[in-house]
Amino acid sequence: MSALAQQWSESLRSATHPQVLPWLDALRLRAVEQLTKHGLPHRKDEDWKYTPLRVLEQLGPAVATGVRVENLTPAPEPELPAALIDSADCVIRIHDGALAGTEGGDQPGVSVLSLSEGLEQHESLLRKHIESVDINGSAQAFASLNTASLDQGLVIHVKEQADAGTVLLRWTLSGTADPSIHNFRVFLLLGEGSRMQLVEQYESADHGGSALNVVSHFDLAREAVVDHLLLQNESENTILMSSTYIEQAQGSRYNYSGFDLGGGLVRHELKTVMAGSGAHAAFGGAFVLDNSRHVDNHISVEHAGTACSSDQFFRGVLGGRSRGVFNGKALIRPGADKSSVRQSNANLLLSPLAQIDTKPELEIYADEVEASHGATVGQLDETAIFYLRSRGLSETEAKRLLVGAFCRSVTDRLENQELAGRIAELIDQAMPSYESRGQVL
Amino acid sequence: MMLEIKNLHATVGGKAILKGLDLTIEAGEIHAIMGPNGAGKSTLGNVISGREGYEVTQGEVLFNGNNLLELEPEERACEGIFLAFQYPVEIPGVNNTYFLRAALNAQRKYRGEPELDSMQFLKLVREKLEILHISDDLLRRSVNEGFSGGEKKRNEIFQMAVLEPSLAILDETDSGLDIDALRLVARGVNRLRSEDRAMIVITHYQRLLDHIVPDRVHVLADGKIVASGDADLALKLEEQGYAWLDRGGIQSLDIDLKA
Ligand SMILES: Nc1ncnc2c1ncn2[C@@H]1O[C@H](COP(=O)(O)OP(=O)(O)O)[C@@H](O)[C@H]1O
Ligand SMILES: [Mg+2]
């Protein structure tokens, strides 16, 4: 494992990058050094305890450099699974960790830029975000790797009071004989009072065991509102590491809903800092897994301003030998009085070999805080299954209905009815095999 | 013969509950089963509908001449067996209408009949709701979730009316119903009465049998049918209770037993 980090470092040391900026060159080098020195996360890293990284060994020694795209030009559509939403105002494709085309995104006050263009127009803001990411230590290896190879990215800038509408990011990976790890960086810069609905779809037509390491930054100025929906429906040999850093000013609202229905090894790290008062952050999601899939949701919410509210709400359904992790942290800093914080994670285990590790953590150092948290692990209700079967539904259908109902508490939270319906359908299709009385049905 | 139960023995959690039960029912008949609490009445309903955990250790159950015991619960439902639960199950998040249409279509598919689309289904459902005085609102809710006791029981009969089973087992459907609800339930049941249907009505009270007059009445005690008679037997049982069971059997009771 540490050999892989050394090989990656080696391949990055000799890389050249299209953007020539002294501070960025220096930072990339420092990140390579960190990666060399500390290697990849291991079991002793508390934050990685439940997510072993052995499957990374399927990856080649080189970090993919992608296709260098300096200017965004529409590329012909390759064969893709159906888009999650048809009515997007802007569709951006990112293939093998490189921009592969955009459509739309030309509303007033909205600019969709490549990383190079973004650095020309918003250098100081991007620099602030890039430098704010912790790249020290093995637990931060994927942030180091992303920074060390930083030259592919997307920047969406939304001016104050502008509405970017719905932006769809379609992430795909191709099948290659020599699978490697691809890196990409996203910046979403939302001016005061601006709005955006971001929909991310991670779903490839077919591919062969490659990996994607994405780091995203959300900068929400005062009163900005972001609805962020993520669907990950990849094949079982796909590795996805995603880290999302959110900075929220006064009165801003960030609303995440993540649905993981596929993938091999998937990790979502989402961190928000609510520095301004009266901000709101919601993290909802469902993971419905079978086979040997592994999905890890690491959420961290920091209340720094007063009267902020946060809500974490995850539902897990685990069949086969799959494994799910929910680690939700909420930190209420001194002075962040009148905060409200909720955490809820409920899970259904459909198979004796499936596993869930759930760990809600709450640290409160302020006054007048309203807090609730809970985590449960259970099984499908046998009485309910019999009731449904006694009316003529097969055991599989009965189970499908019950799992759908269990996850509906998450899809019901979506404001967009079209998306809620589509996601519910996908959850139905993702239904894991169910073991009862020793048989797999 | 629609249903033939011969020398049925069943255990629940290793404990013997049914201990040699015999019962035969012809199409078109309604049989009432009465008996003290814990006698095994619900167990009989569960065994007939195939509930997991109810193990048949001896005897046989034939439905239209076929071995019922080797079928899965959903196959039994598709063959025409319906159990109105003594304690209907609340299923949060599963819509009542969606569930019932899925169930009806699963049964139609099994029988090689075309499935109903939502318009056709709604039309069918409206008629049945009328009979049971159930409001549309109930359809939009989750299965039995937050229903009152009476609403749950009426929902069972409503499901029965939609699914039109050939053998319905009503397990204490009358318990906890006020007199108006009882009349509605009886109306739903009587509408379904026909020459090719049969029903088993498990009850403690005569009052349901005033509305649904049974062809036969059986007393189930300690896992066996200990007495059978016509509708009058139910009246006597209501008057005299079950103390005679300990007193030396049915003969000590002043009734005319017809074999
Ligand atoms: N799931 C179960 N586990 C253990 N014992 C049960 C179970 N279900 C029923 N029993 C027992 O079986 C006996 C008969 O129960 P039941 O058939 O419900 O009686 P009835 O419906 O005639 O009142 C009772 O002693 C009851 O406690
Ligand atoms: Mg009972």
Mean pLDDT to the nearest integer, B28-36: 95
Q: List the one residue out of A112, A121, A88 whose CA is nearest residue A200.
A: A88
| ipTM of the complex as predicted | 0.95
Which residues in chain A have their CB less than 8 angstroms from residue B82's CB? 390-391
Residue B117 has pLDDT above 90, yes or no: yes
Q: Which of B8, B11, B17 to mutate to test the pocket of ligand 1 (most atoms within 8 A of CB)?
A: B17
Which residues in chain A have their CB less than 8 angstroms from residue B73's CB? 386, 389-390
Which of the four pLDDT bands, split at 50, 70 and 90, describes residue B258? Answer: very low
Q: Beta-carbon neighbour count of residue B129 at 10 Å? A: 18
The rounded Å distance from CA B62 to ligand 1 centre is 23
The reported pLDDT for the residue numbered A80 is: 83
Is the shortest distance between the CB of B42 and ligand 1 below 6 Å?
yes
Domain-located, residue B257 = no
Tell me which residue has its CA closest to atom 16 in ligand 1.
B40
**CA separation for the pair A410, A413 (Å, rounded):** 5
Which amino acid appears at position B224 of this protein?
A: K
Q: Which residues does chain A have with pLDDT short of 70?
A: 1, 66-78, 177, 207-208, 433-441
Domain-located, residue B243 = yes
The alpha carbons of chain B give a radius of gyration, in whole angstroms, of 18
Q: A333-365: per-residue pLDDT in tens?
A: 999 999 999 999 999 999 999 999 999 999 999
Is the shortest distance between the CB of B17 and ligand 1 below 6 Å?
yes
The reported pLDDT for the residue numbered A73 is: 45
Is the shortest distance between the CB of B40 and ligand 1 below 6 Å?
yes
Please answer whether residues A283 and A327 qualify as being in contact, where contact means their C-beta atoms are separated by less than 8 angstroms.
Answer: no
The rounded Å distance from CA B34 to ligand 1 centre is 15
**CA separation for the pair A354, A324 (Å, rounded):** 8
Please answer whether residues A208 and A116 qualify as being in contact, where contact means their C-beta atoms are separated by less than 8 angstroms.
Answer: no
**CA of B39, closest atom in ligand 1:** 22
Domain-located, residue B124 = yes
- Could you identify the residue written with the tokens 């404001």? A415
Domain-located, residue B258 = no
> What CATH number is associated with residue B55?
3.40.50.300
| pTM: predicted TM-score of the whole model, two decimal places | 0.88
Query: Which residues hold their Cβ within 5 A of ligand 2, which is an ion?
Result: B 41-42, 86
Of A382, A387, A394, the CB nearest to B91: A387
The reported pLDDT for the residue numbered A440 is: 41
**CA separation for the pair A265, A242 (Å, rounded):** 11
CB contact under 8 A, A388 and B99: yes
The backbone torsions φ and ψ at residue B236, rounded to the nearest 5 degrees and listed phi first, read -60, -40
The reported pLDDT for the residue numbered A441 is: 38
Domain-located, residue B259 = no
CB contact under 8 A, A397 and B159: no
The rounded Å distance from CA A389 to ligand 2 centre is 20
Please answer whether residues B214 and B205 qualify as being in contact, where contact means their C-beta atoms are separated by less than 8 angstroms.
Answer: no
DSSP sequence for chain B:
--EEEEEEEEEETTEEEEEEEEEEE-TT-EEEEE--TTSSHHHHHHHHHT-TTEEEEEEEEEETTEEGGGS-HHHHHHHTEEEE-SSPPPEEEEEHHHHHHHHHHHHHHHTTPPPP-HHHHHHHHHHHHHHHT--HHHHHSEETTT--HHHHHHHHHHHHHHH--SEEEEESTTTT--HHHHHHHHHHHHHH--TT-EEEEE-S-HHHHHHS--SEEEEEETTEEEEEE-HHHHHHHHHHTTTHHHHT-GGGS------
The rounded Å distance from CA B172 to ligand 2 centre is 7
- Could you identify the residue written with the tokens 């899939």? A293
Cβ-Cβ pairs closer than 8 A, A with B, add up to 76
Which residues in chain A have their CB less than 8 angstroms from residue B85's CB? 387, 390
The reported pLDDT for the residue numbered A281 is: 98
Domain count, chain B: 1
The reported pLDDT for the residue numbered A57 is: 87
Q: Six-digit token pair at A226?
A: 């972001």
Handedness of CA A130, A132, A136, A139 (dihedral sign): negative
Cα angle A427, A253, A143; round to 5: 70
DSSP-assigned letter for residue A123: H
Mean pLDDT of chain B: 92
Residues of chain A numbered 359-398 and touching chain B (CB < 8 Å): 381-384, 386-395, 397
Mean pLDDT to the nearest integer, B38-52: 97
Of B74, B83, B89, the CB nearest to A393: B74
**CA separation for the pair B43, B41 (Å, rounded):** 5
CA distance A424 to chain B (A): 12
Which amino acid appears at position A265 of this protein?
A: L
CA distance B87 to chain A (A): 10
Stretch (H or E) spanning A33: helix A22-38
CB contact under 8 A, A409 and B104: no
What are the Cα distances from residue A361, in Å, to A266, A341, A358, A373, B180? 21, 11, 10, 9, 53
Q: What are the residues facing A283 on neighbouring strands?
A: A256, A312
The reported pLDDT for the residue numbered A72 is: 46
**CA separation for the pair A190, A155 (Å, rounded):** 11
The rounded Å distance from CA B101 to ligand 2 centre is 28
The rounded Å distance from CA B36 to ligand 2 centre is 9
Stretch (H or E) spanning A122: none
Domain-located, residue B158 = yes
CB contact under 8 A, A390 and B51: yes
CB contact under 8 A, A384 and B91: yes
CB contact under 8 A, A405 and B91: yes
- What is the length of chain B? 259
**CA separation for the pair A217, A94 (Å, rounded):** 16
Q: Which domain holds residue B245?
A: 3-252
The reported pLDDT for the residue numbered A78 is: 60
**CA of B202, closest atom in ligand 1:** 21
The reported pLDDT for the residue numbered B130 is: 84
